[in-house]
Structure 1
Amino acid sequence: MDDAAEPKGSLLLQDQLCFALYAASRSVVARYRPLLDALELTYPQYLVMLVLWEQRTASVRELGTALHLESSTLSPLLKRLEAGGLIRRRRRTDDERSVSVTLTDAGARLREKAEAVPLAIGEAMGLTPEQDATAKQLLRLLTANVNRA
């Protein structure tokens, strides 16, 4: 087979989509840090709270699915959120293998303080609404494609 017929990938750092994603992710998460420090949340804890602010209650399995996290990663996060009085974990009576996670009143109240976070992050990103929508659409497509591969 002719070497010219084989596609060759670039090994230049600037040509790597994975590095662009990595650098963007690190920058965005770093921008979240001071905003979330004020809420006494880490970024992964904030993601859990986002799901619970939307749904009020979710199983550990549902949280893992929504956040693309294993229960072994979620368990310590949930333990800290519970110790902070923001959530309650209970074994379901109808299925003892399943743990239900529910917002406490304090967790629900924290939502008001968190409402400024997406606005500040959106401002820092400096994207138009159309660019924001396109970026999310492409990243969701990329995630789905890689997960299928």
Structure 2
Amino acid sequence: MTSPDASPDFPLELDQQLCFALYSTSLAMTKAYKPLLEKLGLTYPQYLTMLVLWEADDLTVKDIAARLALDSATMTPLLKRLEAQGYVERVRGVEDERQVHIRLTDVGRDLKRAARAIPPEIYCASGSDADAMLRLRDDLVRLRASLNEYLDA
């Protein structure tokens, strides 16, 4: 592979950087979610956590953190707030008390119905059709996997 420094094909203008396009799009996406999530009383990280739990209930903090690519220390205050809102309960593991399991409450499970309105709103806000958004998501998933593979090498 040629060194990027040796090639004029890699400009250093901000708007030409993939990283900035991803970063600024991520910020815009989070802002688009904000008013929709406020109706549910959730922040964006709380919403992502609830999505994980709606897929598979009764997970450890470690499992949720891994799924969201976060560390467990970041998850603890977020989960405490979700517990205070009545969406989840934290339960110490029976076999290993160091493990904390997160379980949805009935209120947390019921919240999923209201959350179903969010993805269509985001698709609408994107100005793209569903197929284009799904292709973009798949491209981003492949990019993430490639970057993680590079980092793990």
Q: Normalization by structure 2: what TM-score?
A: 0.89
The residue that corresponds to 1:7 in the other structure is 7
The residue identity in structure 1 corresponding to 2:54 is: W
SS in structure 2 at match of 1:93:
coil
**How many Å separate the matches in 2 of 1:125 and 1:59?**
34
- 1:31-110 correspondence runs (5 A): 31-110=32-111
| Superposed CA offset, 1:86-140 (max 9, x none) | 1001111012221110000111111111110111011111222321221111111
The residue that corresponds to 1:131 in the other structure is 132
**How many Å separate the matches in 2 of 1:96 and 1:143?**
34
The residue that corresponds to 1:122 in the other structure is 123
Give the % identical residues: 43
Using the TM superposition, name which of 107-116 and 127-136 deviates more.
Answer: 127-136
- The answer as to 2:30 corresponding to 1:29 is yes
The residue identity in structure 1 corresponding to 2:149 is: R
User: 4+ runs of 1 displaced by more than 6 Å?
Assistant: none
Q: Normalization by structure 1: what TM-score?
A: 0.92
SS in structure 1 at match of 2:96:
coil
Contact 2:123 2:129 in 1 (8 A): no
**How many Å separate the matches in 2 of 1:27 and 1:133?**
18
Backbone CA RMSD of aligned residues? 1.4
Using the TM superposition, name which of 100-109 and 88-97 deviates more.
Answer: 88-97
**How many Å separate the matches in 2 of 1:61 and 1:135?**
29
The residue identity in structure 2 corresponding to 1:118 is: P
Unaligned residue ranges in structure 2 (runs of 5+): none
Unaligned residue ranges in structure 1 (runs of 5+): none
